Amino acid sequence: MKSLQQLCRPNIWSLSPYSSARNEYSGHTAHVFLDANENPYNAPLNRYPDPLQQEVKNKLEKIKGIPASNIFLGNGSDEAIDLPYRIFCEPKIDNVVAIEPTYGMYKVCADINNVEYRPVLLDDNFQTTSEKLLGACDEHTKLIWICSPNNPTGNLIHRETILSVIDRFEGIVIVDEAYSDFSSEQPLRARLGKYPNLIVLNTMSKAWGMAAIRMGMAFASEEIIGLFNKVKYPYNINQLAQEQALEALNDPFGVDEWVRLLLRERGRVMTAFRELPICTKVYPTEANFFLACMTDAQTIYDYLVSKGIIVRNRTHVALCGNCLRVTVGKKGENNELLAALRQYQV
């Protein structure tokens, strides 16, 4: 890969980050805080939170098997998606490459940052090759986005393809593993030490059931994490979110049980979908959702909405014509969905 200084925008490389009050006395014990213009009343909510969320990262280190110094916590994964554009991509000059179809925020952030977005269409099995992805790159390509398990398709992108891209690309490869907790494949973050140009994303929103607190994760080299921390807003994770995350991280075995229940329900619901006359195909998945091709996705979607049941209509997404994306819910929710579909009249 190119050096980080070569990849980074010059203004970001030379940026002097904002110095938060809570960082300046780091390493010392303090009990009187008269530095940050805070109200002394209404403790503990009157104080600014830890800007680097060290306690949360220390717990994640034990659970994820990644040193705290290699972890960035963002305001949702959306912040961790946006920051690489702001750090590495010069607007109107640089570009990024991504698989298509995939999670829509990669393109939205490219558009917001005025960076060219180059989609590479997957094949009929929702796979690609390193040659196709690298063939879409030029000297101004800074990032390659790969979501695996992919959204909305649910499948894993072949690991050998991803590793070939990482080995051969001179820029940064970002692998979004938001759904890896539901997958049978070992997360790629386990190989982080071997690849200095790799960023792996994860989240508290899916397996951990914490979507409301908006906490995303990025795992990368200490140097890349340093750039993330330089550019992020000083107090990007609020105190209440940090406390909720710490409470959840105390019970990883409870999350394992949720995952086990969801995987069992996923298999049951997918089997039931295959038996529906209005379903023509159910695609394999390694996530907590699946993609189903229907006889008339829009009409069936509208029918489900009228019953108060919301799934995701993906019929206008590339390669997903007449497809619904169905999240696996609790058994009762899944039964209500299946009952409604069995009563559907063509």
Residue 26 lies in a domain: no
Token pair, residue 319, equals 């390669």
pLDDT of residue 235: 95
pLDDT of residue 175: 98
Q: Rounded distance, CA 276 to CA 182, Å?
A: 25
Token pair, residue 174, equals 């970002």
Looking at every residue in the chain, the average pLDDT score rounds to 97
Chain segment 82-101, per-residue pLDDT in tens: 999 999 999 999 999 999 99
pLDDT of residue 84: 98
Chain segment 224-237, per-residue pLDDT in tens: 999 999 999 999 99
- Per-run averaged pLDDT (10 residues), the chain, 346 residues: 96 93 72 92 95 97 98 98 98 98 98 98 98 98 98 98 98 98 96 96 98 98 98 97 98 97 98 98 98 98 98 98 98 98 93
Residue 38 lies in a domain: no
Give the residue from 185, 216, 250 where a domain finishes. Answer: 250
Residue-number span of the structural domain to which 283 is assigned: 253-343
Same domain, 133 and 148: yes
pLDDT of residue 27: 61
Give the residue from 233, 250, 267 where a domain finishes. Answer: 250
Report in angstroms the alpha-carbon separations of 177 from 33, 92, 183, 264, 336: 40, 29, 10, 21, 30
The whole-model pTM stands at: 0.96
pLDDT of residue 23: 74
Q: Rounded distance, CA 123 to CA 121, Å?
A: 7
Report in angstroms the alpha-carbon separations of 149 from 11, 59, 131, 186, 294: 34, 25, 20, 12, 22
Token pair, residue 199, equals 């960023």
Domain count for the chain: 2
Residue 39 lies in a domain: no
pLDDT of residue 19: 86
CATH of the domain at 217: 3.40.640.10
pLDDT of residue 30: 84
Q: Rounded distance, CA 237 to CA 294, Å?
A: 41
